[in-house]
């Protein structure tokens, strides 16, 4: 489940700390999109896409982050 993408690693690191204060096992990675480095904050390890979707819905409300998305 993806929480946030940004071209600012500093922003992602701040949000990573915030997610961990909620006890969430968030981490981040880098992706290159058309020559631009993006930092993607995510929570890994869901047993199914359905489980990730359910948790995404819960976290959107709890964290007030409407842009959370679940990949394919």
Q: In total, how many domains does the chain have?
A: 1
Q: What is the pLDDT along the chain (72 residues), one digit of tens a residue?
A: 999 999 999 999 999 999 999 999 999 999 999 999 999 999 999 999 999 999 999 999 999 999 999 987
Has this prediction a pTM greater than 0.85?
A: yes
- Give the per-residue pLDDT at 72: 78
Residue 59 inside a domain? The answer is yes
Residue 69 inside a domain? The answer is no
User: What does the DSSP assignment read for 24-72?
Assistant: ---EEEEEEETTEEEEEEE----SSHHHHHHHHHHHHHHHT-TT-B---
Give the range of the structural domain holding residue 42, as residue numbers without chain letter: 2-63
Residue 72 inside a domain? The answer is no
Residue 22 inside a domain? The answer is yes
Residue 21 inside a domain? The answer is yes
* DSSP type of residue 39: E
């Amino acid at each position: 489940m993806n929480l946030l993408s940004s071209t600012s690693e500093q922003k992602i690191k701040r949000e990573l700390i915030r997610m961990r204060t909620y006890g969430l096992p968030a981490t981040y990675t880098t992706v290159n999109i058309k020559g631009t480095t993006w930092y993607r904050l995510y929570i890994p390890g869901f047993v199914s896409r359905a489980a990730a979707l359910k948790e995404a819905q819960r976290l959107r409300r709890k964290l007030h982050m409407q842009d959370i998305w679940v990949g394919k």
